[in-house]
Amino acid sequence: MSTIVETAAKPRLIMSRAKAFNVALAVGVVVVLIVSGLTQPEFLSVDNLVATVRAAALIGIAAVGMTFITLTGNFVSLSTEQTAVITAILCAMALGAGWPMWAAVVVPLAVAMVIGALQGIFVALGLNSIITTLGAGAAIFGIANVITDSKTIQARVPDPMWLGTARPLGIPVQVWIFVVLVLITMVVLRKTSFGRTVKMIGSNSNTARSSGLRITRAVVASFIIASVFAGICGVLLVAQVNQAKTLNFTGFNIDVVAAVLVGGTAIQGGEGSTLRTALGAIVIAMLTNYMLLAQYEYGTRLIITGFVVGGAVIAFNWVRGKSSS
C-alpha cells in the first residue's frame, strides 16, 4: 500500500519543488538587483538596464533553445557560439550583397536549421552529444574563417535596422523576441505532444522507446530548435552592429551553458522549463554586467561565473538526490 501512497504523493512534491526553484531564482534576481543598485548606483540607470536586458535577451534566446537539448537528456551543445557566428556572417554577407531583408534573415536561419538537423541526427543515432557538438563547432568555426578569410564582413545597410535598435514601448526588440520565444516554448513544452515527448525521453528514454514515442524525431527537432535560436542571436547581432566577424560571439557557449545550468534544468534531462532558463540567463547577464561595472578583472569574472555554475550544478544535484532516495 505504501508504494501507492508514494506514487500519488510524488508528483505534487516535484511540482512544489519546481515552484520553489522558480521562486528562489526570482528572489535571487531581486537580491542581485538591490545589492548591485546599492553598491553601484549606475547599475540601475535606464541605459544600463536596457543594455543588460539586451545582453540577457541574446544569451536567453540561445539558452532557451538549448534547454530542449538538455531536456532530452543530451546535456548541452558546445556549437552554439559557432552556429551564431556563421549565421551572423551569412546574414551580413547577404545584406552586403543587396539581398532583401527577409531573404537575408531566412536563408541563414535555414542554414542554421540544417546544421542543427545534422548534429541532431548524429546524436539521435546514439553519438555522444558533447563530442559531436565539439567537433561540429570546430568544423563550423573553420568554415566561417574560410569564407570570411578571418575579416570583418560589413552588412552595408544604409539605415540602422529596426530589428537591432528599435524600442517599442521603451523595450528593445531583442527583448520582445526573447519574451515571445519563452512564452511559445513554455506552451510547446507543456501542451504539445512534442514537448511532452522531449521531457519523457529525458526522464526515461527506455520507457519512451517502449511506449512507441518517436525519439529520433524529437531529438533532431530539439537540436534544430537550439540551432535556429542560436542563429536568431546571430541575425540580431548583425541588425544591431551592422557587421559580423568570426570573433563576435567569443565566450557565448560558456554564458549560454551557464544560463541553462543556473536555471536548474536537470542535467540528466526530463525536468526543467524554459522560464527557469530565461531567469538563469537574466541572472548570468546581470552578474556579468555588475562585475563589469564594478571593474572586476576578466579572471575574477570567470572564477565567479565558474563558481556560480559549479555551485548550481552541485546544489541542484544534492536537492534532487535527496528527493529521489
103 or 139: CB nearest another protein: 139
SS (H, E, C) 52-90: HHHHHHHHHHHHHHHHHHHHCCCCCCCCHHHHHHHHHHH
Q: Which is nearer to another protein, 172 or 272 (CB)?
A: 272
Of 99-107, 187-195, 279-287, 293-301, the segment contacting another protein by CB under 8 A is 293-301
The alpha carbon dihedral of 96, 99, 105, 109 has a sign of negative
Within 108-137, the residues that bind another protein by CB under 8 A are 122, 125-128, 130-132, 134-137
Residue 225's H or E segment, with its range, is: helix 215-241
When asked if residue 208 is in the footprint of another protein (CB under 8 A), the reply is no
* Contact string 133-162 vs another protein (x = CB under 8 A): -xxxxxxxxxx-xx---x------------
Contact assessment for residue 148 and residue 239, using Cβ atoms and an 8 Å cutoff: no
DSSP 8-state code for residue 149? T
Q: Residue 299, interface with another protein (CB under 8 A)?
A: yes
Contacts (CB under 8 A) with another protein, residues 58-77: 75-76
- CA–CA gap between residue 294 and residue 40 (Å, rounded): 7
| DSSP run (H or E) holding 288 | helix 274-293
* Among the residue ranges 14-22, 214-222, 270-278, 314-322, the one whose residues contact another protein (CB under 8 A): 314-322
**DSSP 8-state class, residue 107:** H
C-beta closer to another protein: residue 32 or 118: 118
Q: Give me the amino acid identity at 206.
A: N
143/292 with CB nearer another protein: 143
Which of 134, 136, 98, 138 has the alpha carbon at shortest distance from 114? 136
Considering the rule CB under 8 A, would residue 216 count as an interface residue with another protein?
A: no
Cell readout for 21 is: 526553484
Closest approach of another protein to the CB of residue 291, in Å: 11
Decide if residue 214 touches another protein (CB under 8 A). Answer: no
Shorter beta-carbon distance to another protein: residue 60 or 137: 137
Q: How far is the CB of 161 from another protein (least distance, A)?
A: 29
Number of CB atoms found within 10 A of residue 293's CB: 16
The minimum distance between CB 54 and another protein, in angstroms, equals 23
Chain CA centroid to CA 31, Å: 23
Among 45, 207, 268, 323, binds another protein (CB under 8 A): 268
Least distance to another protein, CB of residue 221, Å: 20
* Nearest distance, CB of residue 243 and another protein, angstroms: 20
| Integer CA distances (angstroms), 14 to 27, 34, 40, 129, 271, in order | 20, 30, 38, 27, 9
C-alpha cell at 275: 522560464
Nearest approach, Cβ of 181 to another protein (angstroms)?
24
For binding to another protein (CB under 8 A), which residues are involved?
75-76, 122, 125-128, 130-132, 134-143, 145-146, 150, 254, 257-258, 261, 267-268, 297-307, 309-310, 313-314, 317-318, 321
